[in-house]
Structure formats: C-alpha cells, structure tokens
Amino acid sequence: RSVVVAIDGPSGSGKSSVSRAVARRLGLAYLDTGAMYRALTWWCLEQGIDLDDEPAVTAAASDFPLVMGTDPTDPHVRVGDADVTAEIRTTRISSAVSAVARHLPTRAILIALQRDWVDRCSVQGIVAEGRDITSVVAPDADVRLLLTASEQARLARRARELHGDSGESALAATRDEVLRRDRDDSAVTSFLEPTDGVRLLDTSDLDFDSTVDAVVRAVEA
C-alpha cells in the first residue's frame, strides 16, 4: 500500500495547484474534490434545477454522469459528453457552488464517491484535496495537511489566476466572491482550523515551488 495524502484549505490557499504538482512529482493519483462540487453545480444549472431545492440537487447527484481523471498531468472533467474543465472555473459556477455544497444529503453522495476513489487508488497512492478531506473523506490518511494563507495573500493569488494581475480592481472583483464563499463554506466544512493531528502549513510567505517542496517533505518525512 502506498501513501494517501489529504489536503484541505480555503480558496486561494494554493491547495489545488500544489496538490497536483506534489502528485506529479511523487507519481501519485490526484483527486480534486472541489471540481466534483463544481461539476455538479454545472449539471444542476444545465438542467434548470433550483440550487436551493435539496431533494432535486441530491437526485441530480445520484444520477451524475461525471467522468474525471485522476492523472495529475491531465486534469479533465466531463459530465456526460460535455467537457466542463474550463467552464467549472468561471464566476458563474464559483458563485453558485456553495449553495450546492451545503446540502448534507448531496454531500453524502459525493463523499461516498470520493472515498471509493481514494480506496481504488490506494495501491498507487493519491493526493486528495478539498475542504473536508482530512476530517471526513479520508481521516485515516497517512499525511493530513491544512494549507492556510493570510486573506491578503489568498486574494492576491486568486486575482492573478482570474484576472492576470493583483491590482486594485482585480482585487476588488475577487474579494466579494472569495470571502462570501469562505463564509458560506465554513458553515458546513471546517477547513479554517485543523482538526486533531492535522498539520498546518501557512503558505502566505511561500512561493509555489517552496510550498510544493514543503508538502513533499511532509509526505516523505
């Protein structure tokens, strides 16, 4: 059995890009659980489902034709025949995803899929990342990390990702969405404080490569 690495963190903590790079470097599979919530949000909107309608969203989750690779070099996401890899990162989806993720019966379905994924990849080893991986999806993981960063650092990263710069207007456009999403998400997942035994890694003053190095060291320790 190889290593299972669980990584949680808020938006802009760098967890997705860092987790993918770590998986690539160590030859592990990669599971982006946020992409699953995003893809389900896309699928509900596509069908005209009211995102506050918990039974309808949960029914959509139980009949969800998600196709997602666990190869960190090819992180495509498809729903049925539609390639939604780029679409699920748009503001339309980012601003709607928390409404889907707050329904507990919906989460139960995605969490079961995620646990299956982790089990199936446990021979190769896997890096799974999201908001409740260290606490709910894979509490028995060999390595459990919570990536944090100051609000300022997180907003600057997200602004650069979405707008290509971190000037005042890019920051302003990013601030509302990120802070509101963190607030909404923290009602259902506890990704702001590490649970017992979870190691905290503050990335505010680390660049990307140093963060990847720090996580690789934690895995190899």
Positions touching ligand CDP (CB under 6 A) are 11, 16, 33-34, 37-38, 97-98, 101, 130-133, 181, 185, 189
Quick one: 174 or 219, whose CB is closer to ligand CDP? 174
110 closest CA partner among 31, 53, 12 = 31
Q: Least separation, in Å, of the C-beta of 130 and ligand CDP?
A: 3
Cα(158)–Cα(15) distance, integer angstroms: 12
Q: Least separation, in Å, of the C-beta of 132 and ligand CDP?
A: 5
Quick one: 28 or 220, whose CB is closer to ligand CDP? 28
Structure tokens at 108: 């139960």
Q: Least separation, in Å, of the C-beta of 51 and ligand CDP?
A: 12
Of all helices (H) and strands (E), which one includes residue 86?
A: none
Closest residue to ligand CDP: CB criterion: 34
Quick one: 11 or 58, whose CB is closer to ligand CDP? 11
Q: How far is CA 49 from CA 57, 62, 162, 177, 220, in A?
A: 7, 14, 27, 22, 45
Q: Least separation, in Å, of the C-beta of 110 and ligand CDP?
A: 8
Cα(156)–Cα(167) distance, integer angstroms: 8
